[in-house]
A = this chain, B = another copy of it.
Amino acid sequence: MSDLLERLRGRGWRMTAQRRVVAEVLDGEHVHLTADEVHARAVAKLPEISRATVYNTLGELVTLGEVLEVSTDQRAKRYDPNAHQPHHHLVCAQCGAIRDVHPTGNPLADLPVTERFGFTVSDVEVTYRGVCPNCAAA
């Protein structure tokens, strides 16, 4: 994904070693990392990167729409680099593992006007919960 780096540069981003590293970490694995996990992996590549910079950079990526913020549990937010394809999440209630899923149907259409209370509804998040095969086996 030099794609990503190019897009960011095109939006006037000043390209720094720190930002490059954060982008690489998110690209390197298609997973759902917490900010601290991103920081840990970034430090492995660039030891002097600070926590604040990771937080700032993640926040900017979210604002730019390049990364999604996911709150599947009440703990740390997770960052999902799969921002350009709409999807929902399936979470293991025991180990916290997350999978991207693509349900059929359109939940937005399932909310009648009488259930909107005057809100302008623009988005819907669906989180499925269950037990993953690993945890079920244990």
Q: Which residues of A contact B (CB under 8 A)?
A: 69, 71, 73-74, 77, 90, 92-93, 99, 101-105, 107-108, 110-112, 115-133, 136
Contact = CB atoms under 8 A, between A and B. Distances in A.
A99 to B, nearest CB: 5
Tell me whether chain A's interface is mostly helix, strand or loop, or mixed.
mixed
B90 A119 contact: yes
Contacts of A119: 90, 92, 99, 128, 130-133
Given A74-B71, A90-B116, A121 B111 contact: no
B128 A121 contact: yes
Contact of A124 (B69, B104, B110, B128): B128
